[in-house]
A and B are shown apart, each in its own frame.
Chain A
Amino acid sequence: MSAKLWAIVRREYLERVRTKGFVIGTILGPLLMAAMMIVPALAARSRGKPLKIAVLSARQELREAVEAALREVKIDGRDRFDVQPGQAEASEAALKQAVLDKRLDGYLALPEDVVASGSASYYGRSVTNRIVLRAMERTVSAVLVGRRLASAGLDPGRVKELTHELDMKTIRLSEQGEREDQGAAAILALIMLMILYTSLLLWGQAVMTSVIEEKTSRVVEVMAAGVPSTTLLMGKLLGVGAAGLTQVLVWALSLLGVSLAAAGPIGSFSMPEVTPLMLVSFVVFFLLGFLFYAALYAAIGAAVNTVQEAQSLAFPVMLPIILAMISFPAVLESPEGTLAVTVSMIPGMSQLTMFLRIVVLTPPMWQILLSIALLGLGILAVVWIAARVYRVGILMYGKKPTFPELVRWVRHA
């Protein structure tokens, strides 16, 4: 690298890295990520105190059966309901008062005809703890179904045995071995995809903004007098790219850290695996995707005078990346399907889609390499075009060029 290119790369890198936004974003990213992964896992483990409830029913025998069944309910090996012994004569008004006085969390009101009608009501201060309330619903439902079966002359225990439902575990097979997966892989894929998507857009736009700033502050003419415009463009792409890479590396490594910690000391809660291949491809596809989009954004920045003007030109550039995001569910549904394989080969979309495929399964190596090679060619083409628009655009002020004019710049530059 020539000394001049190096000076530009260094300046661009330092200017980005020294901002508060960068420092905060870099630190906040992993914290958010850790929160997103650990909090639900921890929350599942300790969902707080059992719910203190009472059961209201005119039929004492049914009430006691429901109470007993609720006392048996365990989630993650812990009691979920602290059932207060009910009194036959307890009035609904007294229970309501108890809830409002916080002596109870809530109460379940079973009407006289509950066995036949199957409808009951739960009154509580908080009714948003869906998992616990679902458990309550299922438990009471089982008691009621048992009643109905018994009155029809069937043995509830026998029926339960015969109608036992399938409990299907999903296990992901990969070269790294088997692993039980409870939908977490899809969530991880989504999280990593979102991070990749936003970083690509943010860092691409950072390049655009900085090109516009150089035009506004007129420093670009001084620069263009010192070095060829291609050097200027390359320096900017590499410098801003290095800053983005720094951030993404910090994020990727902390993701790895969280993943290792999850498997190790913190404990055995369910965390999807983060393989080295995922992390490497995260970094690789960030870099390649960045170069692709940043070059386009640099061209836009050079063509316009203000950030506002850039919006209309920026949309077509974002189109492929948006299409890639829209095709996300289809790719997840069928990661080896024709659509998924095709989209993961098209430069501009591949950096997201191929990465997604790598997260949800391991595509054949030749596909990964082909995708990277095609993206590399795409980058060369885009940089070639961008360099031409850039060379003409940086010294153009005034009217925003139309698309045909841009084409002319590319042809004649």
Chain B
Amino acid sequence: MNDKALVLKGIRKAFAGHVAVEDLSLVVPRHSVFGLLGPNGAGKTTTLRMVMNILGPDAGTIEILGQPADHAARDRIGYMPEERGLYPRMVLEEQLVFMAAIKGVKAKEALARMGPWLERLSLADWRKRKTNELSKGMQQKAQFIATVLHQPEVLIVDEPLSGLDPVATDVMREALLDLRRNGTTIVLSSHQMDTVERLCDRVALINRGEKILDGAVSEVKARHGKNTVVLAFDGDGSFIESLPGVVRVTDFGQYLEVRLEAGSDPQPLLREAAARLRLRRFEIVEPSLHDIFVETVTRHGKEAA
């Protein structure tokens, strides 16, 4: 059995005028939750579309579950694009049966499978309603069911949690983790770094069509070192920015995240802060994915320019 769900080798895709993806190679191991990150316009959607064989790459190869990305493999993948799409005038139940049929599932089977899902995502009462009567959040949940009804081995979801209320977010996250426990490989693309941090065990960061970071989440964090300090205090902390060794200060409102130069000692900062502020919290932490994301993308942008 192949232990790699997705293998992308040297993928390139150019549209009239600009290169969307340049020499991109990725490996997504089976049974992992893989986060594909990147700023807007980085080439994430283009990459996912090539994986789904909606677009053909100009160069490079894509393997899904050990097979070239042809149509046979498509039935084993579930894809929820960033722009949700359902037929607006179709009754939810028929819609789900249809979407499953497109993936080769018989109507009877689809009807049997959708019941528990509709219950779980509290859509059971809406089964006979038309899609355009559903709220945005409900449509998103319906879309998710449509994506998983054929029990895909690889699930590719673009921004799975955006637009959901906190309750629905929890339900959806639980559902994703359940799928993973049952052996589904999940590739998710998101801007919500806390989502990624909580769900993913591997991430890749792409910017301007190139991969600039790749690896297990713990590994990526370790690579960036324990040189981040979280500070909560009363008083005016604006002087911190100008202290020696401080690279960047991110104000989260309730607390500050202070990034120090690699290898620098946080003790002088502690002494200075303790002297001038009423500290409530001082903690040396791993950098957040958010921080790594911003830093890496900014640095890459400068290098490219």
The contact of A227 among B77, B81, B89, B102, by CB within 8 Å, is: B102
Interface residues of A in 316-345 (CB under 8 A from B): none
Inside 8 A of B99's CB, which chain A residues have their CB?
A: 222, 226
Inside 8 A of B77's CB, which chain A residues have their CB?
A: 225
Q: How many residues of B contact A (CB 8 A)?
A: 28
The contact of A225 among B74, B89, B90, by CB within 8 Å, is: B74
The answer to whether B176 has its CB under 8 Å from any CB of chain A is no
Inside 8 A of B49's CB, which chain A residues have their CB?
A: 221, 395
Interface residues of B in 143-182 (CB under 8 A from A): 143, 146
Residue of B nearest to A235 (CB): B102
Residue of A nearest to B79 (CB): A225
Binds B, one of A1-9, A138-146, A369-377: A1-9
Interface residues of B in 48-76 (CB under 8 A from A): 49, 52-55, 71, 74
B74-A3 in contact (CB<8A): no
The answer for the CA separation of A155 and B80 in the assembled complex, in Å, is 97
Q: Mark A201-239 against chain B: 1 for CB-CB distance below 8 A, else 0.
A: 000000000000110011111111111100000000000
The answer to whether A11 has its CB under 8 Å from any CB of chain B is yes
Residue of B nearest to A229 (CB): B54
A225-B52 in contact (CB<8A): yes
The answer to whether A15 has its CB under 8 Å from any CB of chain B is yes
The answer for the CA separation of A7 and B81 in the assembled complex, in Å, is 21
The answer to whether B233 has its CB under 8 Å from any CB of chain A is no
A222-B81 in contact (CB<8A): yes
Residue of B nearest to A6 (CB): B101
Residue of A nearest to B54 (CB): A224
The answer for the CA separation of A226 and B54 in the assembled complex, in Å, is 9
The answer to whether B268 has its CB under 8 Å from any CB of chain A is no
The answer to whether B88 has its CB under 8 Å from any CB of chain A is yes
A217-B88 in contact (CB<8A): yes
The answer for the CA separation of A221 and B54 in the assembled complex, in Å, is 8
Inside 8 A of B79's CB, which chain A residues have their CB?
A: 222, 225
A218-B81 in contact (CB<8A): yes
Q: Which among B49, B54, B55, B79 has the greatest number of chain A C-beta atoms within 10 A?
A: B54
Question: What's the nearest-Cβ distance from chain A to residue B159, in Å?
Answer: 13
The answer for the CA separation of A227 and B71 in the assembled complex, in Å, is 7
Contact A219 B85, CB 8 Å, known A225-B54, A226-B74, A395-B54 = yes
The answer for the CA separation of A228 and B161 in the assembled complex, in Å, is 28
The answer for the CA separation of A213 and B87 in the assembled complex, in Å, is 9
Q: Mark B10-42 against chain A: 1 for CB-CB distance below 8 A, else 0.
A: 000000100000000000000000000000000
Inside 8 A of A219's CB, which chain B residues have their CB?
A: 85-87
The answer for the CA separation of A395 and B16 in the assembled complex, in Å, is 14
The answer for the CA separation of A214 and B87 in the assembled complex, in Å, is 7
A221-B98 in contact (CB<8A): no
Question: What's the nearest-Cβ distance from chain B to residue A149, in Å?
Answer: 76
B85-A222 in contact (CB<8A): yes
The answer for the CA separation of A228 and B72 in the assembled complex, in Å, is 11
Residue of A nearest to B98 (CB): A11
Residue of B nearest to A7 (CB): B101
A221-B85 in contact (CB<8A): yes
The answer for the CA separation of A220 and B101 in the assembled complex, in Å, is 15
The answer to whether B141 has its CB under 8 Å from any CB of chain A is no
B85-A4 in contact (CB<8A): no
The answer for the CA separation of A223 and B90 in the assembled complex, in Å, is 15
Inside 8 A of B53's CB, which chain A residues have their CB?
A: 225
Question: What's the nearest-Cβ distance from chain A to residue B51, in Å?
Answer: 9
Question: What's the nearest-Cβ distance from chain A to residue B46, in Å?
Answer: 10
The answer for the CA separation of A352 and B204 in the assembled complex, in Å, is 59
Question: What's the nearest-Cβ distance from chain B to residue A307, in Å?
Answer: 15
The answer for the CA separation of A214 and B80 in the assembled complex, in Å, is 16
The answer to whether B224 has its CB under 8 Å from any CB of chain A is no
Inside 8 A of A408's CB, which chain B residues have their CB?
A: 16
The answer to whether B183 has its CB under 8 Å from any CB of chain A is no
The answer for the CA separation of A213 and B131 in the assembled complex, in Å, is 14
The answer to whether B84 has its CB under 8 Å from any CB of chain A is yes
Residue of A nearest to B84 (CB): A218
The answer for the CA separation of A7 and B90 in the assembled complex, in Å, is 14
Interface residues of A in 354-387 (CB under 8 A from B): none
The answer for the CA separation of A222 and B131 in the assembled complex, in Å, is 15
Question: What's the nearest-Cβ distance from chain B to residue A392, in Å?
Answer: 9
Question: What's the nearest-Cβ distance from chain A to residue B36, in Å?
Answer: 16
B102-A220 in contact (CB<8A): no
Residue of B nearest to A222 (CB): B85
The answer for the CA separation of A408 and B17 in the assembled complex, in Å, is 14
The answer for the CA separation of A11 and B98 in the assembled complex, in Å, is 8
Residue of B nearest to A412 (CB): B16
The answer to whether B303 has its CB under 8 Å from any CB of chain A is no
The contact of B83 among A4, A7, A218, by CB within 8 Å, is: A218
B81-A225 in contact (CB<8A): yes
Question: What's the nearest-Cβ distance from chain B to residue A399, in Å?
Answer: 11
The answer for the CA separation of A217 and B53 in the assembled complex, in Å, is 21
A8-B85 in contact (CB<8A): no
The answer to whether B115 has its CB under 8 Å from any CB of chain A is no
A228-B71 in contact (CB<8A): yes
Inside 8 A of A3's CB, which chain B residues have their CB?
A: 101, 104
The contact of A226 among B83, B88, B103, by CB within 8 Å, is: B103
Apart from the given pairs A15-B87, A225-B54, 6 other A-B contacts in the complex at a CB distance below 8 Å: A7-B98, A217-B87, A218-B84, A219-B86, A221-B54, A225-B81
Enumerate the 5 nearest inter-chain pairs by beta-carbon distance, A residue then B residue, closest first: A219-B85, A218-B85, A7-B101, A226-B102, A218-B83
B residues neighboring A (CB under 8 Å): 16, 49, 52-55, 71, 74, 77, 79-81, 83-90, 98-99, 101-104, 143, 146
A residues neighboring B (CB under 8 Å): 3-4, 7-8, 11, 15, 213-214, 217-228, 395, 408
* A to B CB contacts below 8 Å, 19 in the list: A4-B104, A8-B102, A11-B87, A11-B98, A214-B87, A217-B85, A217-B87, A217-B88, A219-B86, A219-B87, A221-B54, A221-B83, A221-B85, A222-B79, A224-B52, A224-B54, A225-B81, A226-B99, A227-B71
